[in-house]
Amino acid sequence: MVRSRKIALIGAATSAIAVIVTVLSAGLVRADLAAAYSYPNAQGVGLEDAASMTMTYLFVIAGVALLVGVLFASVRSVATTRTGWWVGATLVVLGLAAATYNSTQVFPLAIKLAFFLPVAAGVLWLAQPESGKAAALG
C-alpha cells in the first residue's frame, strides 16, 4: 500500500502542477484564443468570456484530478478495493480523453503537456499490485 499511496500523492502533485501551469498560462490562453478566433463569435461570446470559460474548464479538470489523487492517497478503502481500482481506471480513461482533447485545442504547449502528467501517474497507480488490481482481475 505504501507504493500505491506514494504514486497517488505523485498524481496529486502532478495535478497541482497542472493547476499552476494553467494559472501561469492564463495570458497565453487569452492571446491564443484571440489569434485563433474572431470575437464576438456567432453566439455573441466575447474574448473575455471565452477566456474565462476556457480557464474554468481547465481548472475544473485539474481540480478534479487533484481531489482524486488526494482521495486515493488518503482513503485506504478506496485505493485497495476492486471498486476503487475500476473507478481509478475509469478516471484515467476520462483523464486521457480530456488531455487528448486539450492537445487538439489552441492552448499553450505547457498546458497541453501538463494535463498528461496526472494521467501518467494514474496509469502507474493502476499497475501497482496493492492498488486493488489483483482483486479487480481476480
- Residue-range domain boundaries for the chain: 1-136
Residue type at 39?
Answer: Y
Q: Which positions of the chain have pLDDT values less than 50?
A: 135-136
Q: 55-64: per-residue pLDDT in tens? A: 999 999 999 9
From the number of C-beta atoms within 10 Å of its C-beta (0-12, 13-18, 19+), residue 120 rates as middle
The whole-number pLDDT of residue 136 equals 46
Cα–Cα distances in Å, from 47 out to 28, 52, 89, 122, 138? 13, 8, 36, 34, 52
The whole-number pLDDT of residue 54 equals 95
